[in-house]
Every structure is written in structure tokens, then in C-alpha cells.
Structure 1
Amino acid sequence: MGLNQNSRAMSAPAPEEDDYDYVGDSENYDEDEEEEDNYTGPPPVIHTQPIKLELKPGSNALLPCNISDLNPNIAIMWKKGSRTLFSDTIAFAAPKRYERKDDYSLFIRDVKPEDSGEYFCELSTPDAMHVRHEVYVFEAPMIRSILPGPSHIVLKGFPLTLECEVDGYPVPTVTWTKKGKHLPSGEESIKGKSITFEAVTRRHNGTYECSAENSYGKPAHASTDIIVQYAPEITIEKETVNTAEGYESELTCTVHAEPKAKVLWYLNSKHIVPSDRIKEKREGSRHILRILRTQKSDFGTYTCFANNTLGRSQLVMELSGLPSKAQFVGESPKMQNGNTHSLRWMVESNSPITEYKLLYRKKDTSDWKVSRPEVLNPEGNVYQVEAEINDLEGGSYEAMLLSKNAYGWSENSEKHTFQGIEYQKTEPQANTGTNEEPVLEESQGSGVDILRPTLLAALLSISLAYFLV
């Protein structure tokens, strides 16, 4: 049975050569396709000029594309940017609100802000002939993002850029401000989508706000909190705090740090443990060491020490019973009985001042002259000192003041430089024997007017003539 079948298969006639199918063979051969391939008409032309549409949301847009001499082999494509929406009437990435019309135009129904952009009616020619239209849909300002984020930590000395990414039409104007403060540059605000700080300091700490506004809707706002981390930075109000036994004394240091610093006080390198008489207090960044009923043993060198995870810092100050270093407050030259100069200082002392010592000299000389100004009654613990220096020659002088109380002499004040004025004495004029009118000359220091010899001679002559008559 199987043998007979095989025999029949082997004896089947070979197929005729014309029974084979070849690529391109088709029973439905269309003569129109050959005509399209052989199209020899004029090249197509786009007659439409570019347009720019500014539309309110919800309105419709019609983008024309008027073409003549269109070759049947050429496709008409609509693109938004580089994205193809339609190829002829076939939709690709077009939303349902988009429609390709029979006259090749593009119709957009119920426009939205996301429809804004560039649209191209493009022919599939070698040169990609096209017309470009612009569509802008009005939109209130919107902040898409704020960089580097809602909150950001940066180390002192590093750069920082703040950026505000916005949407809206017309294109919003972006303004940067700092909450409750001026910007680190000193300005109240800066315009621009971004600002850059080359090296941040603790003054860059704070909340920065970007505002976006245009002519269409309400402004939009966003903020970022910038936290600058740094090792402690210390400042002090006074290098020397002057006090006296029995008084209340305060030493203050201001500590800035991020993260917050731990602050310790030392006296002569020994850690201070708070007690009923010695108390520590904090007011914001100010750290206060308060000493009640100050004792002589409290005098010495105090250290304000601060440290955090990024480093440490310290400053020293003195608590002393001595008078404070004198502060210069003013001067006035006087021209009487020679060149006199009046210098004024201010001194603080809780213990009564018993003596002043004024040192002065002409510049570029080595010898100091000493004067001892009078001690006047203070106002509270503040003493006003007025010292007069007499008989100065012309030239430049320097002076400094020291004060003494029960604890000893104060530090020298800073040197004060002042100018001596050359004093010119008026010499009497000799009698020339002429008939000049008598002239009164001011006496130096006597307050009496002196008559010239010519006037005296005239008076004697008048008196003698009177007695002879």
C-alpha cells in the first residue's frame, strides 16, 4: 500500500516553469501605481505664510497649509516640534482634539497650555519643504520646580546655585528675595531664573523665595530653606571687663555655629562650674557668664570655648578691677599765653580713680613729658578727663593717658596724634619820628593796653603848655 503511494509520488509530473511565483508578481496589478511613479508634473509649492497665534484656553486654533501641484507620491505631515502628529490623514501622536482637514490644515479644538509650541506642515520632499506656525496659549505663572529643593544643606565656602523653573505665557519674570532680610549682596531682590553664590558663609543662611509673574494671571511663589553648616565663630563685646569687689560682673561672647555649638567657660584654663554665685545664661547666640558679689579671686583671664561636629573656636577676655583703657573723645587747640592744647578722654572704673598720668611727646623724639590732670567726680562709674598741654611748638605730637585706682594702673590708652600750632609773637615797632597816629598794642598776658612813645611825647607837650599859660 505504502509502496504504491510512493510510486505515484515519484511518477508525478514536474511542475511547469510558469507555475512559480516571483517577487513583485500580483494578480491585482494597478496601472495607476505606474502612473504615480512616473509623475512628471511641476514640483509642489506651499503658499501659506507662517503665523503666530496667541489664544486663551478653551478657544480653537486653525493652522493653514495651502499647497499647489501636490505630487500623489508626496506625503503631507503635521509635526509639533520633532514629533509627528499626522502623516496625510493617519494620526500618530495626535490628541483626539487634533484634526487634519481635507484642505491639509490642522484644527485644534479647546486649546490648552500644553498645546503651545511650534507646528510644521511638512512635505516628504528631499528638501523637507515646510511652513512653521507658532501657537501660544495664555497661562498664569506656574513654578514647575525650585532647585536645589525645598531644603538644602551646604558647607561654608562651597558654591550654591538657586534655580526656579517656571511655565506660563507670556513668559513669567522671576524675582528672588530673602525672607525677612536683604540678599547677601545687600540688594532687596534680584531678577533672573537663577542666582549663584561662589562661596557661602553663615550670612547665606535663610529662606529664599522665587516669585514668577506675567500679565495674565496671579503670581506664583516657591521657597527653599538654605542651611549653611560651619564651625563655631565667636565675637566678644569687650576684651577687658572692668569691675570691683562686691559688684555684679558680666562677661559675654556671641557664638554662631551650625550645627549648634556647645559653649564652655574657663577661668585661667580651669573649667567653670556654675553655682549660686556664678551663673551661665543664653540669649539667642549670646552666652553670658554672670558673677554675683565679685571677689578678688574672680579676677583673671576668661575663655569662651565653643565646639561642634565641624570644629572649635575660642576667645579670651580679662575680668579686672583696674580702670578701663581710656577712650579718646575730643580735642581743641587754644591760643592764649602760647600754644595750649586741650585733650579729652573717658574712663570707666567701679573703684574710685585716684590719679591720672598724661604722657606726651613730639613725634620722632624719645622723651615723654608727664602731666597729671585733675580727677573730677564721675557720673556713675564713668570719669571725664580733660588735660591741657601748654607751650607747645609747631609740629606733630602724640599723647596717651593712664588711670589709677585701688587695684593699680590701667593699660595705656591708644596713642592720640594731634598738631601743635606755631605761636607768633608781635614785636613792638620802633619810633620813626613821624607824625603817625598812636597805635594801641595788646599786652601779652597783662590785659593792659600799652601806648607807643610818640603818643606819650605828645601828651607831655600838651601838659607843659597848659602850666605855662
Structure 2
Amino acid sequence: MLGTAVSRYRWPHPDEVLAASYGHAYPITSAASVPTTYLEYYDYDPYFPDHGTEPPNFTARPQTFTVEMGQSVIIPCDYTNAGEHKLIIKKVSARGGNEKLLAVDIHKVTPDQRISITGARLTISHIRPRDAGTYLCYFDLDPPVQLKHTLLVQYAATVSSLVPPEQHVAKGSSVTLECEAHGNPHPTIHWSRQEGKLPSGQHTSQGIRLTLTDVDQGAEGTYLCTADNDIGDPASAAMAIIIEYPPEVTPEKAVVRTREGAQMELVCVVQGRPTPEVVWTRDGQPVQDIVMDTQPQLPTHTHTSTTVLSGHSLPTHRHSLLITSLAEKDFGSYMCIAENAHGRKHAAIQVTGLPEVPDITSSPNGDESTRYTLTWKTESYSPVKEFIIMYRKAHRGVWQGNGSLVMEGSWNKVSSAVEAEDEVNKAQYSMAYILTNLEVATDYLAIVRVRNKYGWSDESNYFQFSTQKALKISRATSLVSPCWSVD
């Protein structure tokens, strides 16, 4: 078999032959005088083919290897008829670029400790994503003899946010969350919310973007972009949305009843972001020389299975105004005014010494024919001195020709002073009065007012009651005897 010569020459004339041996050229006069040793190293020109020599042949077949990251793979380059031709193994990156020489014959030339060569097989251990690409086994002939393998590396999904980790969004506006994911196979992306359902009412939504429109406090929370490709565990990136909105003010009590000398606390609960500034006024003037206090108010209900990031729950504060010794001049209308960058809101609290509107507590169905006991209760921090009862029959009225409704009967009025009680600090009053000279089985309407040292309460709601219903039995006034006929 002829080997590969160091240099290739053509015979221009039968009498002039150049033989190549060990890197040197020798002129000779005829082919007959060329030593056998020299001919073994002679590489013939295509004009003079050597029909007794076969090129190298790969016995392995092209393959595509799909391997998960961290595993190992063997790249086969098995061949025959190589002679003194050297097997070369190199890699072409999956993303293109320069070729990287890995091995020549049985010698590894790459410094990568994860790669080893055994015979005509290349082993790669602890596969990484960068190992993906095309692996070429070839002999440097003209034309080259080569075998091509493809290595695909599967690896778990990774994900990263493309927006800031925390976004402050004005109420009523729109916001878009976006993330990107990598992995092989390419991951799918879905969105969820740590606090529960998405504002749309769905549990999840797919896609690289999540757009929320016309947001309010209900959209606030931590959103998760999760990527999954069934290789390893899913990966998630968290993004928080914080809704900024105008103040919301709610008084704990819209009317506070008290008396002189008592301690009074007015409270309003304020929400808003940024945290609103709060001031108090009385009858339109700033409140001075009064103790004011502001403190956060914790939610009354907390769902233990929900993770709430610090500062992401609705900011609620309890603002109080304290008067330690109330004077009559302190009665009036107070305003709790809250303001932030998005607006201003207020709530009114009325401080008064007047009695509360009476609440009638008696049964609507009386148990007496011509009398009825009316009972009621009221709140007053000053002793109740007097009450007034107004009552009349509950007629529906008669429609007149001009379309007006005329109610029959007029109001009867009963008033009475209330005896002073020993309980100075009493606040709840339960009272009663017996109405007499009523008609049997008749419906009535009644209203009640009470008075203390500061004045009269408002009227109670209309209350309908009736005297005892009489059972009317109609009896026959005559008996009729049957007639008998006898034939």
C-alpha cells in the first residue's frame, strides 16, 4: 500500500522522477531505479491513481444526541481503512462561530477536563449548555471524509424580570409586567399572584407579558412569572405592584355624644398611598391645643395561607383627636382632612351633648283594648329632663279630586317631665308611657322626642301599633224549623 508523501510531485517525463522520502526529494532517471522504500512513501497524482488504495470509511452513522445538563454523552467516530491518515475531531458551536479542535487521532488537544478520548470515541461528562453544537469526525483528504453528529443539551428553565421588581402605579392607570425565560426545550410562561386570583378572576395567565388595566387597590400584590419546560423544577421571578391612590377617610363614629367635663376621643381611619397627611378642624378652624395621635391600624382579618410582603398591604392608619376635659365650647362639627399627591378627602364628626334619637322598643301589637304602653330607649350623657309623644290613628287618607292626599285625624300630643335620677354618669335611658282613651282594635302611629340640658333630640321614626283586636262573632238571630210532609 502506498503512503502519503510529504510533498506531491508530477512526472513531467518518464526519465525524470522525483521520489519523496523522509522529507527529502531525490531526482532519479527512471521508475525502475526507484527503491521500494521510496515508493511506499510516494503519493501519486490523480493522473496516476493507485487503484489498490481505499479511502477511510466511517462505520458510525450521523446521530442527534439529546442529553440533559449534567449527564454524559459518547460521540462515536468509528472508522476503517484509515492507514496512516489521522482522525480529527472538532466542534462547531450551536450558535455558529469558530471551530474548536478537540482531538487528533488518539490524542486530546482541548484542555477541558470533562472531555476524554478512547479510541475513536469522544466522551463528554457533566454536560453543560455550551456543549451543544455540531461535532465533526473527519480525515483531511481531498475531498474530506467526514461524519457529522449533533448534540442537543436540555436544561431547566431560568427566568428573569424585564421590569423593576417593584412598581408604584396610580389608581385607574395601566401597568404591564414582562419577563423572559431560557431553557431547552423552550419553557412555557404563566403568571400567578401570591395573594390569590389575578384581577381578571383567573388563577393563571400565559405569555411573556401581563397587562393590567384600570387598576385599583384590588390589583395590588406580588405577581410571579413562572417558566417551566419539564426539566428540573420551574423557575419564578417576583414583581410587586403597589397602587397609589387618593385618601379614603372613614370616621369610627359620625356622631359622638358626650357631656361637659368628660374625656372625648374622635377617631378616623385613613387609607391612601403615599401615606396622607392628616389635620383636624372644628367648625372650619384648625384645632389647636388638643392632643392628636396617629398610629397604624392592623387588618382585622389575616389569611394565614397568603404571603404578604412588608409594606405591600393596604396602608391603614388610625388617627385620633383627644380632648381630656370637654367644655361646652368644644361641641361642634369636626373634620378629619387627609391629603396626599393624588387628592384630598375629609370626613365629618359631630360632637354634641344632645340626646340620641329615641328608639321605640314596644311590641306593635297591644294586649289591651283601650290602652297601650309605649316604651323606648335613648342615649344621653346629660340627664333626660322631658319627653314628647305625638300619636294619631293610622288612616291611609282620602284622595281628593285635585290629586292631593288628606290624612284623617290630627296628632295628639303628650309631654311629661322626667324625674331627676341619682346616676350622674348614666348614658342609656329606657322609658315608658301609657297612652289611654284609645279605640278598640285600632291602628295608631306614634313618634317620640326627648330633651336634656342641651336641647331636644330629633324625632324617632314613625312607629305603628294597635290596640287589642276584638274577635267579632256573628250569630244568627232566628232559627228556622224544617217542614215535614206526610202523605
Residue 154 (structure 2) pairs with residue 136 (structure 1): yes
Aligned equivalents of 2:387 and 2:131: distance in 1?
87
Number of equivalences: 355
Report which structure shows greater RCO (CA 8 Å, sep ≥6).
2
Which residue in 1 is equivalent to 2:455? 408
Partner of 1:55: 68
**Equivalence map 1:228-267=2 (5 Å):** 228-267=243-282
Instruction: Specify whether residues 304 and 363 from structure 1 end up closer, same or farther in structure 2 by C-alpha distance, changes over 3 A only.
Output: farther
Shift of residue 157 of structure 1?
Answer: 1.5
Paired AA for residue 352 in structure 2: S
Contact 1:255–1:286, Cα closer than 8 Å, also in 2: yes
Q: How many angstroms does 1:348 deviate by?
A: 2.2
Q: Which deviates more from structure 2 when the two are superposed, residues 310-319 or residues 285-294?
A: 310-319
How far apart, CA to CA, are the structure 1 residues paired with 2:374 and 2:292?
41
Determine if contact 2:128/2:153 at 8 Å carries over to the other structure: no
**Partner amino acid, structure 2, of 1:58:** Q
Decide whether aligned partners of structure 1 residues 421 and 259 sit closer, same or farther in structure 2, where only a CA change above 3 A counts: same
Partner of 1:305: 337
Which secondary structure state, in structure 2, belongs to the residue aligned with residue 297 of structure 1?
Answer: helix
Structure 1 residues 383 and 110 mapped into 2: Cα distance closer, same or farther (>3 Å)? same
Deviates more, 1:280-289 or 1:183-192: 183-192
What is the rounded CA distance, in whole Å, between the counterparts of 1:321 and 1:358 in structure 2?
21
Report % sequence identity. 27
Match of 1:283 among 295, 317, 334: 295
User: SS where residue 315 of structure 1 aligns?
Assistant: strand
Decide whether aligned partners of structure 1 residues 349 and 366 sit closer, same or farther in structure 2, where only a CA change above 3 A counts: farther
Equivalence map 1:264-275=2 (5 Å): 264-274=279-289
SS in structure 1 opposite 2:329? helix
CA RMSD, 1 decimal: 5.8
Looking at secondary structure, tell me which structure has more helix per residue: 1
Say whether the 8 Å CA contact 1:176–1:210 is kept in structure 2.
yes
* Distance in 1 separating the partners of 2:479 and 2:349: 76
Contact map agreement 2:199 2:218 (CA 8 A) in 1: no
2:427 corresponds, among 357, 368, 381, to 381
Letter in 2 for 1:257: G
The match for 2:381 is 350
Q: Distance in 1 between matches of 2:76 and 2:395?
A: 93
> Superposition pairs for residues 327-338 of structure 1, below 5 Å?
332-334=363-365, 336-337=367-368
TM-score of the pair, normalised by structure 1: 0.55
Aligned to 2:128: 112
Match of 2:145 in 1: none
Gaps of at least 5 residues in structure 1 are: 1-29, 33-46, 65-77, 90-95, 99-105, 122-130, 436-469
Which residue does 1:176 correspond to in 2? 192
- Displacement of 1:217 in angstroms is 4.4
Paired amino acid for 1:383: Y
CA distance in 2 between counterparts of 1:63 and 1:382 reads: 97
Alpha-carbon distance in 1 for matches of 2:76, 2:458 = 89
**Which among 209, 213, 223 is matched to residue 238 of structure 2?**
223
Distance 1:185 1:202 in 2: 10
Asked if structure 2 preserves the Cα contact closer than 8 Å seen for 1:153 and 1:226, the reply is: yes
Opposite residue 425 of structure 1, the aligned amino acid is L
Gaps of 5+ in 2: 1-44, 48-60, 78-90, 102-111, 116-121, 137-148, 297-316, 398-404, 482-487
Q: How far apart, in 1, do the equivalents of 2:415 and 2:74 lie? A: 95
> Which residue matches 1:317?
349
Of the three residues 135, 139, 160, the one matched with 1:145 is 160
How much has 1:412 moved relative to structure 2? 3.5
CA deviation digits over 1:41-71, x for unaligned, max 9? xxxxxx99999x463533338799xxxxxxx
When residues 269 and 338 of structure 1 are mapped into structure 2, their CA distance, relative to the original with a 3 A threshold, is: same
Amino acid at match of 1:235: T
Residue by residue, what CA displacement relative to the aligned partner does 1:397-435 show, whole Å, maximum 9, x if unpaired? 98654332221112334x468798995732241254489
Could you tell me whether the CA contact under 8 Å between 1:339 and 1:423 is conserved in 2? Answer: no
TM-score of the superposed pair, with normalisation by structure 2: 0.53
Of 161-170 and 300-309, deviating more is 161-170
Cα distance in 2 between the residues matched to 1:338 and 1:213: 82
User: CA distance change for structure 1 residues 419 and 56 in 2, over 3 Å: closer, same or farther?
Assistant: farther
- Deviations 1:378-402 (Å, cap 9, x if unpaired)? 995233567899769899x986543
Tell me the SS of whatever aligns to 1:334.
coil
Q: CA shift at 1:167, angstroms?
A: 4.5
Q: 1:63 to 1:411 in 2, by over 3 A?
A: farther
Q: Which digits, 9 at most, give the CA deviation of each residue in 1:109-145, with x for residues without a partner?
A: 75335678x99x9xxxxxxxxx9997633x2x54x32
Q: Assess, with a 3 A threshold, how the Cα gap between structure 1 residues 175 and 227 changes in structure 2: closer, same or farther.
A: closer
Following TM superposition, by how much is the alpha carbon of 1:207 offset from its aligned partner in structure 2, in angstroms?
Answer: 4.6
Query: What displacement does 1:324 show?
Result: 2.4
For the 8 Å contact 2:358–2:376, the answer to whether it is kept is yes
Paired residues of 1:341 and 1:388 also in contact (CA < 8 A): yes
Give the counterpart letter for 2:346 in structure 1.
Q
CA contact (8 A) 1:175 1:212 kept: no
**Of 430, 433, 451, which aligns to 2:476?**
430
What one-letter code is carried by the residue in structure 1 that aligns with 2:70?
A: P
1:238 and 1:222 mapped to 2: Cα distance?
44
Q: Separation in 1 of the partners of 2:210 and 2:371?
A: 60
Question: How much does 1:177 deviate?
Answer: 3.2
Which of 273, 282, 293 in structure 1 is aligned with 2:325?
Answer: 293
